[in-house]
Amino acid sequence: MSALRKLASWELVGTPTEGVPTALARACVRVGHDLRHDATVRARLPELRWWAGRETGAPADFLVVGLATAQGALFGTGVNCAVDEAELTVRVAELTQDHLIGYEALPWPPCPDHDHPMAPCADDERACWCCGATGQALFTIGQLA
Ligand SMILES: [Zn+2]
């Protein structure tokens, strides 16, 4: 049995106090911005926060990250932080979306052109929200407005 040690808990668009790699913190800020932008998400899941932890014996770059509410953790998913920042942002967007769509029935973030959520994708050095039907990158993750 491996134990999970909690490292930090921080605001949706905020900075963790310690123990969280800068690239992961920046990925969370971007995804957090887009979460907070969505009125439906805000109404359904007020006071969302990030949390991060590490399993005993896990490699240094491998963290568990997820979202929590005032009632406690909603989920936590393992991420390898030793990837470039765009890829890490895509990963955080994916695990957030997996929870919102799979467990909260929130099709976030909605595609402006179709009745489906956009998909995170890496476009050159940028992490983007793409339309799954056209494959077109529509927004930079962190800049939904
Ligand atoms: Zn679409």
pLDDT tens by residue, 106-119: 999 999 999 999 99
Distance 111 CA to ligand 1 centre (A): 5
Q: Which residues pair with 54 in a beta bridge?
A: 5
Q: Which residue has the higher pLDDT, 2 or 59?
A: 59
Whether residue 75 is predicted with pLDDT greater than 80 in this model: the reply is: yes
- In this prediction, residue 2 has a pLDDT band, given cuts at 50, 70 and 90, of confident
**How many Å apart are CA 16 and CA 117, to the nearest integer?**
28
Distance 54 CA to ligand 1 centre (A): 36
Q: Return residues with CB closer than 5 A to ligand 1 (ion).
A: 111, 113-114, 131, 133
The answer to whether the CB of 75 falls within 8 A of the CB of 66 is yes
- Cα–Cα distances in Å, from 122 out to 44, 93, 94, 119, 131? 28, 11, 12, 10, 13
| Mean pLDDT for all residues in the chain | 95
- In this prediction, residue 46 has a pLDDT band, given cuts at 50, 70 and 90, of very high
Distance 24 CA to ligand 1 centre (A): 27
- In this prediction, residue 15 has a pLDDT band, given cuts at 50, 70 and 90, of very high
For residue range 89-107, what is the model confidence (pLDDT) as tens digits? 999 999 999 999 999 999 9
What are the residue boundaries of the structural domains of the chain, listed by start? Answer: 4-108
Provide, rounded to the nearest whole percent, the portion of the chain with pLDDT above 90: 92
Residue 90, pLDDT score: 98
Distance 120 CA to ligand 1 centre (A): 12
Mean pLDDT of 39-57: 95
- In this prediction, residue 5 has a pLDDT band, given cuts at 50, 70 and 90, of very high
Whether residue 1 is predicted with pLDDT greater than 80 in this model: the reply is: no
Query: Among 1-15, 52-66, 71-85, which is the least confidently predicted range?
Result: 1-15
Give the SS3 label for residue 5. Answer: strand
